[in-house]
Amino acid sequence: MAWYGQNGRDLPWRKTRDPYAILVSEVMLQQTQVDRVVPRYEAWLVRWPTAEALAAASTADVIVAWQGLGYNRRAVNLHRAACHVAEHGWPENLTDLPGVGPYTAAAIGNFAFDLDVLPVDVNIARVQERTGEQFDATCAQALFDLGATICLARVPRCELCPLADGCPSRGRRYEPLRKQSPFEGSFRQRRAQVLRAVAAGEQPTDGDALVSLERDGLVVLRDGVASLPA
């Protein structure tokens, strides 16, 4: 925690206890880099500052606003979660919200509701595995940053680590993890291209991508015509 006090990243979602703002940040951060998320997060909250404001938006507007963040189904789930909160309030079991799994529920519980639960992402899991230690909920943000900037996946920066003296993994190097398949030329890219085209009012001909997008609730097909959901 002393290390974090000197080295912690200045991130906008760390300055709020609003569960909606934290939900937005956590959904955006799923498989998207922090530097890309920060400006989009800030713009999102200017446009839709509350769950009620987002719930009142159309699904189409939400999908368009999400463009460029990837994995567009997250936008639909975030909108559905906001609708649930606007109508029913925050559920006791946060995993009842669309798109919210155990990790995201733990993050909201910790950062918004001050619950004694540690949200274990890949960074925290890596630090715990390498040190052989368990940490309490108060260390969450410090562990995020330690894993993201010091205890790196392949070549950890042990010389800068505040836990190095007692760490049994100090000095080890690791094989690269399996890389995600390239985006260029992938079906994911085709889906993204088709979704952008539909958002622009075009009628793409990639049937497989359209069917896949419809299954995820990202487009609507009626009589062979594609559009964004209302």
Catalytic machinery residues: 26
DSSP category for residue 10: -
* Closest to 104 in 3D by CA, of 74, 133, 130: 74
* Closest to 82 in 3D by CA, of 58, 53, 111, 106: 53
Retrieve residue 83's tokens: 């609708």
Phi, psi of 87 (to 5 degrees): -90, -35
Residues forming a β-bridge with 226: 221
Rounded to 10 deg, the angle between the 19-29 and 73-88 helix axes is 160
CA 152 to chain CA centroid, Å, is 19
Phi, psi of 222 (to 5 degrees): -135, 120
On the 0-12 / 13-18 / 19+ scale of CB atoms within 10 A, 45 is: buried
CA–CA distance, 220 with 211 (Å, rounded to integer) = 9
User: CB-side exposure of 142: number of CA atoms within 13 Å?
Assistant: 15
CA–CA distance, 189 with 142 (Å, rounded to integer) = 35
